[in-house]
Structures are given as C-alpha cells and as structure tokens.
Amino acid sequence: MTEAILLLACISVIGVVGLLGAIYNWEWIYRSAGARLLTALIGRSAMRICTGVAGVVLIVGPWVLLATR
C-alpha cells in the first residue's frame, strides 16, 4: 500500500507541474515536440486549458480512485 501511495504522490506532483505550467504559461511545457503539434492544431489558449484540466485530473483522480477502493 505504501508503494501505491508513493506512486499516487508522484502522479499528483506531475499534475501540479502541469497545472502551474498552464496558469503561469511556462514556455518549456509547450516546446516539446508533441505539445508543439497540439499547440499548432488547437492554439495556445486551448492548449493551456487542456493542460490545466489534465493537471487537475492528475492531481485529484488518483486520490479519488484510492478513496473508492
């Protein structure tokens, strides 16, 4: 169970980085090859919204799954 909590904490940290990157518009998040492609397709503002939503899901989702087990 300790390993599961550690994994969930790591996933949540990734979510926090994504959420903060969307809020503060960190350039390095959107410069990777995959992010550049998506940014070109949907635009920077939409990409920031998607990154923020994904960050929230990565923060909250694993803990909700753990709580419902």
pLDDT tens readout for residues 5-38: 899 999 999 999 999 999 999 999 999 888 999 9
In a domain, 7, yes or no: no
Q: Which pTM does this prediction carry?
A: 0.87
Residue whose pair of structure tokens reads 């790591």 in the numeric block: 10
In this structure, what token pair is assigned to residue 9? 């904490």
Residue 54 has pLDDT above 90, yes or no: yes
How many CB atoms sit inside 10 A of residue 29's CB? 18
- The domain tally of the chain equals 1
In a domain, 14, yes or no: no
Residue 59 binned pLDDT confidence (cut-offs 50, 70, 90): very high
Cβ partners under 8 Å of residue 36, min gap 6 = 30
In a domain, 12, yes or no: no
Residue 1 has pLDDT above 80, yes or no: no
**Domain housing 40:** 23-69
In a domain, 2, yes or no: no
